[in-house]
Chains A and B, each alone.
Chain A
Amino acid sequence: MTEALAPIGTVLTRSDASAKVQGCEKYAADYYPQGMLWAGVKRSAYAHAKILRIETSKAVEVTGVAAVLTSGDIRGSNRVGVPEMDQPVLADDKVRCKGDPVVLVLAENKKALELALEKIEIDYEVLPAVFDPREALKPDAPLLYEQRPGKNLLLSGTLERGNGAASLKDCKFVVEGRFKLPWQEHAYLETEAGVAGINSEGILEITASTQTPFRDRNELSHALGLPADKIRVTAPYLGGAFGGKDGITVQGLLGLGAMHSGDRPVKMWTSREESFLSSTKRHPAELHYRLGCTQDGILLAMTCEVVLDTGAYAALGGAVLAMVLEHAAGVYRIPNVFIEGFCVYTNNSVASAFRGFGAPQGLAGIEQMIDLLADEAGIDALKFRLKNAVNRGDTTGSGVLMSNSTGIISCLKKVQRHPLWINRQDWVNNAPAFKKRGVGTAAGMQGTGYGPVILDIANAKTELLPDGRFRIYSGVADMGQGNNPTNIHIAGEILNQAPKDFELLQPDTGSCLPSGSSSASRTTFSFGNALIGACKNLKERILTRACNLMMGAYFENLLLARGKVLDMTSGREISLQAIASSMTEQERISIFSYIAPAAKHPESVNSEIRFLGFPHRIFSFACHLALVEIDELSGEIEVCDYLACTDAGRILNPQIYEQQIHGGIVQGMGYVLWEDFRIHNGDVLCRNLATYILPTAVDIPDLQSLAVETEETGPFGMKGVGEIGINLPYPAISNAVAQALGRRIYEGPLTAERVLKCLNSNPTGGKSED
C-alpha cells in the first residue's frame, strides 16, 4: 500500500494523535518505576518568615518513610532560576511566600507521605510582608532579600523617544487610562510531575514535564552540586505547559530525593490544589497611559508606566518586563514616547512565563487606549489603526524597527472587508430586549525568540537508520502544540519520505542536542530551520553515496524517493537500506546548528532590558474582531462572534495552525472574562478548578480564523503562531464591552458582577470606577 506524502502546506494528521486519543501516550505523570518512593513537600504556612527550627524526628518515625530532607542535605547552591538564581530548592534561612517548599519527604506510599508531612514541625519568626508592588517600592517596605542592592525592585527600564512626554501638549486629542490586569493561572491538564533515579553508572536521570530539559540540567547541576555530565533530563510529551514549565518545577526536589533515596527511584506529582498554590502565574500588571494624536488622528505622543508584580522570586520576571515595554506601544508609529516599567518582588505567588510573555499585558493597555483616543477624535477605530500602523521599515512607538515581514496592515484590511465588520451597526441595533451589543477590534504583534543579546540557537540531529528509515533527535519539547509532528512533516518534505518512515526521539540530554526552550514562538522557527539544514546535509550525503555505489550515476540525475534513490536517466535504483549499510554510524548522522536572526539596530533602552530580550526582530501580527452581547439583568457577557486575522508567515499545516489560533483565543477569552486568580495577603483564594473559572465549550462561540501569509525566514516561510492568538482577546473584547456599555471597566477580568455594577452605577461620573 502506498502512503501519500503530505506536502508542506497541507493537513498532515498529527503523528501524536492516535496514541493520545487512546490514552497510551506516556506523559511524565504516567511513569511508575519499579520500587519507587513518593516524594512530597511540606510548604510554608507564612508569606514571609524566618525559619528558626525544623523538627523532623516525628516524621522520620512514621512507618513507610524513607527520608526526610531539609536544605541542609543539599550540597550545591540550593538556588535555581534564570537568569537570576534566587529560588531555593528547599527554603533555608527564610520563606518568602506561602507554598515555599521547606522539607522534602520520601515515603513508600502516599498515606505515609501525608502523615509524615503533618508531623513535621517548623518554628517560624513571622516577618512583615508586602503584597502590593507599589508598597514594595517604598523605602520602608519589608525586604525580601536584605542584601540586594536594588531592594525589592527586580528590574526597571525606561524608553524615551523624540520629545517624550513633552509632546503631549502638542496633541489635539489626549486620553488617559489606568488599567489593572489580573493574575492568570496556566491550569494545564498535567500538573507538575516527574520521576528521578540514579542509574548504575551513577548518573542522575530525571524524566519530567518540562519545556526546558537542557537548561534544567545546568540549573540542577548548580543547585544540587553535581557535574552536568552526571545529570540526564528527558522530556516526554507534556500535558500542557503554556510557559508554566519554562524552568524548574519539581525537578530540583526530584533530583534531591533521588540522591537520598537509597538507590530507589522517586516520583512526584502535584495535586491540582498544590499546583495552584506553588506554580507560577501570569504577572498581574498596572498600566498608566497617556496617548495623544493630531486633529487628523495621527499618533503623536505616548507615556506609559508599567508595574509588574513578580512575586517572591525573579523567575523570568525581568524578561517579561522587557516584553511588556516592547509591546506597550503596539503596532503603531508614535514619534514621541516615554515608557517606564518596574518589575517588583512581593510576598505573593511567583509570576513568570505565560503564553504571550508580557505581550498580552502591553497590548491590553495600548489597544484600549487606541479605542479611547479614536473615540475622542471621532474616528472609526479600525481606520484609526490603519492610519497609524507600521509598514516594513517603520519603527514602533517602543523603538522597534520592523525589519522583517510586516503584515499588520493586511490583517487590519481583512477585518475591514469582513461581513461581521461591515454589518456591525445593524447587528448592534438589533439587540433584543434587556441586551446591549457592542463590537470591538484590537491589533498587535508577538516578538519571536530571545532578543538581541542571548543567541537563539537550535541544534538538530537526524540519522539514516540501518533499515533505511530515519530518526529525528528532537532538541525541543512538545507540550501539546504539535512541534513533533511538524518536525516529521518538515523532514518528510526535505527527504521526500512518508511520515511513517520517521521515528522521533523526544528531548533527552543524553542523546539529543541543546536547542533552547519550547517557548517564545521560536520552537518550530529555530529548531525547524536547524532540522532543514540537517536533513539537507543528510540528503546530499545519501545521494553522493549513491553515486559511489551506482557506478556511472551522476549526482544531478539522482532522485531521493521513498525508501530508495532513483537514477532518472537509466531507471536504476538503490535502496536506502543498501546505502545505509555502506555507511559508518558517523556518516549516517547529520547535525546542523541554526542561529536565529537578531535585531542589530542601535540601543534605545538600558542594557539590562536589552540583555533580557529587547528588541525582537521577527514578529507575528494579528487583528481580532469581537461581537459581544451583554445581559442587562445579570451583567453576563456572551461573545457571539469572533474573528482573528493573523500574519504568522506561511502555513506548514493548516490544522495545527488553526489549533494554535483557536487555543490562544480561548485562553485569551478566559483571561479577559473569567479567569480571576485571586491572591489576598499572600493567600491563594482560588484553590481548585471549581473556584478558578476556565471557559467551557459552551462559553466559546465558533471562532473564525483567516490567515495573511507573508514570507519570512522560518521553515518554508513561516513565523511563530503559538502565542499571537492569546494577545488580543483581552483588548478586543474590552473594547466591544465598552462600546456596549457606553463606558469602560478598567479592572479585569470583566466578570458579570463588574459589568452589572458598572451598569447600575451612576453614569454621570464619566470614567467608571471599579
Chain B
Amino acid sequence: MKNVFLPNSIEEFRQIWSAVPDAVLMAGGTDLLVSLREGKTKVKNIISLERISELRHIDCSGGEILIGSLVTHQQILDAPIIAEALPVLRQAASLLGSPAVRHMGTIGGNICTASPAADLLPALYLLDARLELHTERTKRTVPITDFIIGPRQTSLSEGEFLYRIRVPIPVPNTRAYYFKVGQRKALAITIASMAALLRLDTDMTVLEGRFSWGSVGPTVLRFPETEKILQNQKLSEPLLKEIGEKSARLTEPISDIQASADYRRMLVSNFPLRLLQAEKYTGSNGKK
C-alpha cells in the first residue's frame, strides 16, 4: 500500500516531509504515475504538492516573471502575463501533451523530472531561467543549466525542493520561437526540439541570437560558441544552415523507439531554417 499525503500549505508540507523523509514529491504526476505503473519506480510514500496555493502563482516583479513550481501547463497557457512577456514559454506549453496532461502536469514537475525531451526546458534554457530552491532552513537560486546535470538527474540536495522559477523578461524587440518534432501533432514525445531567440536590427542584422536544443543530448543543450557566429551578421539561409550544421555536430543524440540518432541530427541541422520561414513569412505560411 502507498500513502499519499496532500498538504495544504508549505508549513504542513514541511511537517509531513520531516516525518516521512523517504517520500517522493509529486508535482502533477504525469511522469511519476506512468513510472509507477511500469514498475520502474518503487515508492512507499508520496507527497503531492498540488494543494499548496503558494506554489501555484504567476507573478511579475523586478523585470522577472516568477512562476510557482506547481503552476500547471494550462495556467501558463492561460496567463496573460506569460503571453505578453514570455510568449515562447506559452508556445512550448501549447505543444506539450494533451489538454488532460496540461491540466495535471506542472512546470516544476517538468524541470525536476529533468527529461532531455521535456517541452518547457528549451525555452527556460533560452531565457536563462533561474530556480529558487528551498530547504527548511536555506534558500538558494541557481541557473537552470547548473540544476539539471543529466538525464533525470538534478542537483537537488536532501530536503530541498523547487519553490519557484524566475525568468528574466527579454529586452524589447526580441522574438523567440519553439519548434518541436514528435511522432504526431499532439500527445507526442519530443524527438527533437529547438528554442531560439533573435534580436534583429531593422535591416535584419542579428544583434543577439540564442539557441537551445531539446532531446539531442543528456540535457537540453546550448552552444554559446556557435551562437556567436550570428553576431552582427545578416540573417540569411546560409547562415542559419551553418548554425544548424555546426550545432548538429555538437549534439549527442541517442537512438530509441521514437527515432534514430541520425534523424535527430538531421532535425537539428534543419531547425534554424524555420526561423527564416517564421521571420520572413509570418502569417502567410501557406496553411489552409
Residues in chain B within 8 A of chain A (CB atoms): 34, 98, 181, 183-189, 257-260, 262-263, 266-267, 270-271, 273-274, 277, 280-281, 284-286, 288
Q: Mark A742-770, 1 if CB is under 8 A from B, else 0.
A: 00000000011100110010000000000
Given contacts A433-B281, A633-B273, A633-B274, contact A756 B184 (CB under 8 A): no
Inter-chain contact B184/A434, CB cutoff 8 Å: no
| Chain A residues closer than 8 Å to B280, beta-carbon distance | 433
Q: Which residues of B contact A632 (CB under 8 A)?
A: 270
State whether A674 touches B257 (Cβ < 8 A).
Answer: no
**B266→A760 contact, CB < 8 A:** yes
A24 is an interface residue with CB less than 8 A from chain B? no
The residue from B186, B258, B277 contacting A699, defined by CB atoms under 8 A apart: B186
A570 within 8 A of B: no
Closest to B280 in A: A433
| A690 & B259 in contact (Cβ 8 Å cutoff) | no
Determine if B257 and A699 form an interchain contact, defined as CB atoms under 8 angstroms apart.
no
CB pair A674 B183 closer than 8 Å: yes
Q: How far is the CA of A434 from the CA of B240 in the complex (A)?
A: 14
Whether A698 touches B288, Cβ cut-off 8 Å, given contacts A433-B281, A686-B257, is no
Is A636 an interface residue when CB atoms closer than 8 A count as contact? Answer: yes
B183 and A433 within 8 A (CB)? no
CB within 8 Å for A674 and B281 given contacts A432-B286, A756-B266: no
9 A-B residue pairs with Cβ-Cβ distance under 8 Å, sorted by A, are A430-B286, A433-B281, A434-B277, A633-B271, A634-B181, A674-B183, A693-B183, A752-B181, A753-B260
Complex formed: what's the CA distance from A690 to B185 in Å? 13
- Is A222 part of the binding interface, using a Cβ–Cβ cutoff of 8 Å? no
Number of A-B contacts (CB under 8 A): 63
Shortest CB-to-CB span from A121 to chain B, Å, is 19
CB distance from B96 to the nearest CB of A (A): 14
A564 beta carbon closer than 8 Å to chain B: no
Interface of chain A residues 627 through 686 with chain B (CB within 8 A): 632-634, 636, 640, 674, 678, 685-686
Q: Which of B184, B260, B277 is the one whose CB lies under 8 Å from A674?
A: B184
Q: Judge whether B260 and A699 touch: CB under 8 Å.
A: no
**Distance between B32 CB and nearest chain A CB, rounded to angstroms:** 15
Secondary structure class of chain B's binding surface, majority of residues: loop
Among the interface residues B98, B274, B286, which one has the most CB atoms of the partner chain A within 10 A? B286
Q: What residues on B are CB-neighbors of A640 within 8 Å?
A: 288
> Chain A residues near B284 (CB, 8 Å)?
432
The answer to whether A695 and B184 touch across the interface, beta carbons within 8 angstroms, is yes
Check if B186 sits within 8 Å of A636, measured CB to CB: no
Given A691-B257, A753-B259, decide whether A699 and B184 contact each other with a Cβ distance below 8 A: yes
CB A483 to nearest CB in B, in angstroms, measures: 31
Among residues of B, the one whose C-beta sits closest to the C-beta of A757 is B263
Closest B residue to A700 using CB positions: B185
**Which residues of chain B are within 8 angstroms of A431 by Cβ–Cβ distance?**
286
Nearest residue (CB) in B for A701 is: B288
Residues of B contacting A693 in the complex (Cβ-Cβ under 8 angstroms): 183-184, 188
Q: How far is the CA of A756 from the CA of B270 in the complex (A)?
A: 11
CB closest residue in chain B, given A753: B263
Measured in the bound complex, the distance between the Cα atoms of B257 and A686 in whole Å is 8
Nearest CB in chain A: distance from B268 CB, A: 11
B286 surroundings in chain A (CB, below 8 A): 430-433, 435
- Which residue in A432, A434, A634, A674 is a CB contact (below 8 Å) of B267? A634
Find chain A residues with CB under 8 A from B281 CB: 432-433
A696 interface residue, CB < 8 Å from B? yes
Residues of B within 8 A of A756 (CB): 263, 266-267
Interface centre among B184, B260, B271, B284 (most CB of A within 10 A): B184
CB distance from B114 to the nearest CB of A (A): 18
Kindly state the separation between the CA atoms of A695 and B284 in the bound complex, as whole angstroms.
27
Query: How far is it, in angstroms, between the C-alpha of A696 and the C-alpha of B263 when the chains are bound?
Result: 23
Q: Are B285 and A678 in contact (CB under 8 A)?
A: no
- Other than the known A433-B277, A632-B270, A699-B184, what 6 A-B pairs have Cβ atoms closer than 8 Å? A432-B281, A434-B277, A690-B189, A697-B186, A753-B260, A756-B267
In Å, the complex CA distance between A695 and B187 comes to 10
Q: Which residues of B contact A634 (CB under 8 A)?
A: 181, 267, 270
Contact (Cβ within 8 A) A751 B183: yes
Residues of A near B274 (CB, < 8 A) are 434, 633
- A696 near B186 with CB under 8 A, answer yes
CB of B271 within 8 A of CB of A696, answer no
Nearest chain A residue, comparing its CB with the CB of B267: A634
| Beta-carbon nearest neighbor of B271 in chain A | A633
Q: Which residues of A contact B183 (CB under 8 A)?
A: 674, 693, 751-752
In chain A, what residue has the closest Cβ to B285? A432
> What are the nearest 4 A-B pairs in CB distance?
A432-B286, A633-B270, A753-B263, A693-B183
